[in-house]
A = this chain, B = another copy of it.
Amino acid sequence: MARRTGRRPGNPDTREAILAAARATFAERGFDAASIRAIAAAAGVDPALVHHYFGTKEELFRATVSIPVDPAELVPGVLAGGRDEVGERLVRTFLAVWDSPVGTAAVALLRSAVSNQWTARLLREFLVTQVLRRVVDQLDLDPAEVPLRGALVATQIAGLAMMRYVIRLEPVATASPDTLAATIGPTIQRYLTGPLDAG
């Protein structure tokens, strides 16, 4: 579960109480509307203690869904190659994380989201506010199209995760990142920057 730090003061259950309050608040209100103040109140602690344990709201959110990578660090790499390479780069970045030891936690989260409505809401919030919003914000897209483009990307990436790591359907389960970037990359590219109604 959550790693404990040596400098944690007070009640040993405080950290877990904050995490439980954060999970409930993020799932009920969504990431944007959930405040550190409200989470602290639900946990019965001072807001300063929440920051002390978990840092920013983004960091607290990632702790609630046990996601060990920071999209804020990965997204610039996805965008670094320019607008026309974002599809392939997104697939490669996704595979680099999920194929690594860290991916085990990601697969567990995916399984949990399918069986638990609260985790599903948290994962949805994570996808929208932490991953997709960061990508689409920097691609100069029509704001009216952004939600659909982001959700379409999520369908393809979630399905890739399902088939490669959970259902283990061959040849996708063992295909090289090169093969998947070449075949699925253009799909992500079209969902992000292409026309939405023609092949």
Copies in the complex: 2
A147 to B115, CA, bound (A): 29
B187 pairs with A190, CB closer than 8 A: yes
**In the complex, what residue of chain B is closest to A164 when comparing beta carbons?**
B155
A160 pairs with B159, CB closer than 8 A: yes
Known: A186-B198, A190-B187. A158 touches B151 (CB 8 A): no
| Residue A168 at the chain B interface, CB threshold 8 Å | yes
Interface size class of A (residues with CB under 8 A): 35 or more
A189 to B175, CA, bound (A): 21
For A114, the chain B residues whose CB sits under 8 A away are 110-111, 114-115, 162, 166
A154 to B163, CA, bound (A): 7
Summarize A's interface: helix, strand, loop or mixed. Answer: helix
| Residue A182 at the chain B interface, CB threshold 8 Å | yes
A14 to B123, CA, bound (A): 43
Known: A87-B199, A114-B110. A163 touches B155 (CB 8 A): yes
Partner of A199, one of B163, B164, B167, B186: B186
Known: A111-B114, A162-B114. A152 touches B184 (CB 8 A): yes
Q: How far is the CB of A136 from chain B (nearest CB, A)?
A: 14
